[in-house]
Structure 1
Amino acid sequence: MESRILQLLTVLSITATVISDTEIVAELGYPLEISSNFSIVEDEQVASSQWHLEGAAIIRIAFTTVTTIDERASLTNDNSLVLRDVTLADSGEYTLNIVTTKRSVDRKYVVQVLAAPTFEANAIPVIISEDETPQEIAECRATAGSKPYSIGWYDENGIPVANASDLQGSANVDDPELVDLRLTLAKVVDAFDDGKEYQCRLNNALGRTQELRVLLSISAYPKIYDFTSASRVTLLLGESRNLVCMATGVPEPTVVWTKDGQQIGEGVGDKEISVTASQYSMAGEYKCSAQNREGEDTKSLSIVVEGKPAITGADSLDNRTETVTMRPDDKKLTFACQATSVPVSTIRWTADDKDVEEVQGVVVNVPDRESITSYLNITSEHFLREKPISRVRCVASNKHGSDEKHFTMSVAAVRSSNIAIIVGIVLAVLIPVTVCLIFFFVVKKRRETGADEEAGKGLGFATCCEGSKVKSKELKEEDDGANGAHVKEVSEDGSVEEKKKLTENEEKAAENEAPKGEEENQEIDEAGQDGEENTEKPKKTKFKMPHPTRCCGRKKTITKECDMNDEEDCESVDKKTEDEEKDSGKGDTLGKVNEEAAK
């Protein structure tokens, strides 16, 4: 068919035109269009056209019939070639042959298919090293690219920051005709490089430039660079001190202060705290901790709070003096003195400015962590003597100073409530005792009255007030008073003057008898004792028998004598006395008097 067309063209005397080679660059994977650069003149018709690659037909058309050898190929209205999805194999010389009714045209094209590499740039996370050596902080990769092409690193000002010698190239694994390139950015970094921008720039074989931006990711372990140099700080009570903790790190670390494990302050990057030694409990371990996602750095110090002694409760006392009350039943007095300080105080006791050892004082000390309690015991006799202890002093001291407390003594007064209790107790005891004593004396009186009645049956009494005449038999009366004692005997038939004289003597004896009763009883007892001691010598005992009478309101005592060693003698005396009482006619009077006395 082609030969026939050529023959036809020859017969028609058509001139053939050949156009020189034209270079065309095609990008791998994209469509390739090669223009025919052909236009039809007047009264001209295309008889046929066909495209070849390196002599191999791709597509042809004869009049209206189209023959496609490569399915990717197609022709436009002006006979230009369109080739989809070109590959590296599509590189080479392309020729176009067009035959018309008037002429024949041949055109040649050189096509080069190039691959634009895939391109990526990434920041490499970096932890800042302490040895300050360069570290790879970013990487730029170009894969499967056609030569020649290049890549490079630039800072934010467009200045190259990577050496060309660091560029690494290698053949692509899938297509050895392509090249892979890798360029890393390495430098010594610090915390200020974190987040800094860098650019990776690629120039490919197609003449295009690509650019990727990256932000560096720099991390750094926290590091405390400013801290109190001393590991131990001593503060006096009431003193203040600022503690500074400054740290670096990427990202910026959080700074936390703790005391004995309890958080007391927090900041970012740095944190300054103020410690005031307002009390001894402010002492302890203070730790600063700087933390971020990469780790933690810590530093610590110990704070010691010291101060002069302070005696508990002394400030609230007048003149720092406490009054100690001594009760009557106290055998000793105990004085207590508690002092708080760091270092712990030494306590010294004095009594009236003398050492307590001189008054046998006993001191007991009970130390604690920050305090000491001292007890002083002194027996009460030292406060009751002629020159008693009047003041006790407690002095607490350490290297920072001293404090003291005074004690004075007072004797406890019996309170009204105690008086009421004591009176109640006394009354509760005295009332039963008094009742018993009264009952005892009443019974005793009754017994004595009964004895007097028995003893006075045979006696006679003169009733001087009534003027009655009394007969009396031998009466013996003893007077132990200041005027002496005498006994007078009168016979029944005595004269009237003798009887009158007897009556007067009896009245006088009755007046002196009451105060002499106890003395006379004592004489009786002594007489009885003498009788027991001297049994060989019989002795008469005087019996005193008081008989209440109505003789001028006086009490009269009739005394009879008998031998105590001779029972019969005493019985005869009693009998005789009884008979005499009857004879005198006063028996009835005696009975009445005894009844009245009993009442």
Structure 2
Amino acid sequence: MTKMVSAFIVILAVAHLAVSGKISKHDYGYDYFDEEFYGYEEMPVEEELTPQFQTSPSKLKVSLGGTARLVCEVKDLGPNTISWRKVDGNESSESVFVAVGPTLLTTDPRFQVSLSDHGSTLQIILVQQKDEGDYQCQVFSHPPVYLTHSLSIKKSPNVTILGRPESGVLSLMEGEELALICQGEGDPEPRMFWHRKNQRLADGNRQIEGDQLIYTRVSRKHSGEYVCTGDNGFGAPAEASIIVQVQYTPCVSLEANYIHHLHTNTQLELICYALGFPTPLIQWEGLDGVPRASNLHFNIRKGKEILLINDISTVVNRTISCAASNTLGKSQESFTTKGND
């Protein structure tokens, strides 16, 4: 009986409100109270802003043992949290979180993280080779946003001459092509140069820039020690060298000098210059029957041989030849004496 009375009272109250216009019927079959009756005002909904990075992605190069500072500044950060993670460069492309908010997730004491009202800074001291890689600054918004900094370690240059024989000596035949290629490594990438030790290059230049040195047809003038240099401004420049030997048949020239003395016999000096590679063997021809004891003196020097004939009368009207030979051939020059002048 009590429940029926309570229900009847509620019906009367609703009817009264409907009559007074304080409640209206909705087409969907349920009622709602008039906003004016309850003093309700619609509140504006604050638009949620998406965080935007004020820092651009960067490629940071530091020296081994130096300090790396990775900065991440965000506009409209709001209550969102910034995290740092390192993305491995291996095939698995795994990533490891380094810090979330002010909390470091690594036990490596070289890592530090600091926060500001608009960003986060990850600092790595005493940088090691293993610290190289990509570091992502991520904001836990909806959706999440992130930017990536790349950290690389400066490396001193290193150069290698491709195809260099273990002996360090490259032998070519005259007329063949010479192609020297030098591979340089380092961070930053080194600038490459070629020069010839203790002499200019065959074209007269002191050096050329580039990793390749090519001559389509070589001659004896291309022989020498070639040096490749790599320099990236970090550490000492790196060098590698190779000795180029151009093989050619001997080339001979002969010089004759009469030496006159007032009270003694006239002497004849013959100087034989012989060039070639392999180094040629010098022989004198046309001296058969000429007295040798105290008359013929041979002085061998690098690239030449000197024959001194003390008594010119022993070789009057005689043709004397200097012959030079190696595995590639033979060449000679001759001189005919005239006797006492």
Question: Smaller-chain TM-score range?
Answer: 0.5 to 0.7
1:245 corresponds in structure 2 to 182
Does the C-alpha gap of structure 1 residues 305 and 377 become closer, same or farther in structure 2, counting only changes over 3 Å? farther
Q: Which amino acid aligns with 2:241?
A: S
| Distance in 1 separating the partners of 2:173 and 2:311 | 36
Which residue of structure 2 lines up, in the alignment, with residue 232 of structure 1? 169
Per-residue deviation, 1:285: 2.4
1:483-540, CA deviations, whole angstroms, 9 ceiling, x for partnerless residues?
xxxxxxxxxxxxxxxxxxxxxxxxxxxxxxxxxxxxxxxxxxxxxxxxxxxxxxxxxx
CA 1:236–1:162: 2 relative to 1, 3 Å: closer
CA distance in 1 between counterparts of 2:294 and 2:86 reads: 96
- RMSD across aligned positions (CA): 5.6
Of 60, 65, 75, the residue aligned with 1:125 is 60
Distance 1:150 1:297 in 2: 43
1:266 to 197, 206, 209: 209
- Residues 500-539 of structure 1 mapped to structure 2, 5 A cutoff: none
Are 2:282 and 1:339 aligned? no
How many positions carry a matched residue from both structures?
Answer: 270
Cα distance change of structure 1 residues 375 and 124 upon mapping to structure 2, 3 Å threshold: same
Match of 1:348 in 2: 284
Could you tell me whether the CA contact under 8 Å between 1:222 and 1:297 is conserved in 2? yes
**What is the distance in 1 between the residues matched to 2:69 and 2:216?**
43
Match of 2:311 among 361, 369, 378: 378
Residue 378 of structure 1 and its aligned partner are, at CA, apart by 2.9
Structure 1 CA distance for aligned equivalents of residues 137 and 82 of structure 2: 11
Look up the equivalent residue of 1:348 and give its one-letter code: W
Q: Secondary structure at the match of 1:255?
A: strand
Cα deviation, residue 335, structure 1: 4.9
Deviations 1:318-341 (A, max 9, x none): xxxx9x9x9xx9944525232222
Q: Is the 8 A contact 1:166 1:184 kept in 2?
A: no
Q: Distance in 2 between matches of 1:238 and 1:374?
A: 34
Larger of the two Rg values belongs to structure: 1
Which of the pair is proportionally richer in strand?
2
Q: Is the 8 A contact 1:144 1:180 kept in 2?
A: no
Instruction: Give the corresponding residue for 1:66.
Output: none
In structure 2, relative to structure 1, the CA distance for the partners of 1:223 and 1:187 (3 Å cut) is closer
Residue 202 (structure 1) aligned with residue 139 (structure 2)? yes
Q: How big is the shift at 1:287?
A: 0.5
Q: Is the partner of 1:312 in helix, strand or coil?
A: strand
Q: What letter corresponds to residue 273 of structure 2 in structure 1? A: A
Map of 1:311 onto structure 2: 252
Write the distance in 2 (CA, Å) between the matches of 1:357 and 1:412: 17
Residue 257 of structure 1 contacts residue 265 of structure 1 at CA under 8 Å; is this kept in 2? yes
Note closer, same or farther for the CA distance 1:170–1:332 as it changes in structure 2 (3 Å cut): closer
Q: Where is the helix percentage greater, Structure 1 or Structure 2?
A: 1
Aligned to 1:406: 334
Do the aligned partners of 1:242 and 1:273 also contact (CA within 8 Å) in 2?
A: yes
How far is the alpha carbon of 1:125 from its aligned partner? 1.8
1:141-290 map, 5 Å: 149=81, 151=83, 163=95, 165-170=97-102, 200-204=137-141, 210-212=145-147, 220-230=155-165, 231-235=168-172, 240-260=177-197, 262=200, 263-267=206-210, 270-274=211-215, 278-279=219-220, 282-290=222-230
Counterpart contact for 2:84–2:98, Cα < 8 Å = no
Match for residue 298 of structure 1? 239
Give how far 1:299 is off: 0.5
AA at the equivalent of 2:275: S
Q: Which residue of 1 aligns with 2:29?
A: none
Shift of 1:260: 1.6
Gaps of at least 5 residues in structure 2 are: 1-21, 23-33, 104-112, 201-205
**TM-score normalised by length of structure 2:** 0.54
- Per the alignment, do residues 377 and 234 of structure 1 end up closer, same or farther by CA in structure 2, a change over 3 Å counting? farther
Where 1:229 maps in the other structure, the secondary structure is coil
8 Å Cα contact 2:174-2:248 kept in structure 1: yes
Checking the alignment, whether the CA contact within 8 Å between 1:123 and 1:215 is kept in structure 2 is: yes
1:59-138 matched pairs, under 5 angstroms = 105=39, 120=55, 123=58, 125-126=60-61
In structure 2, how many angstroms separate the alpha carbons of the residues matched to 1:164 and 1:379? 94
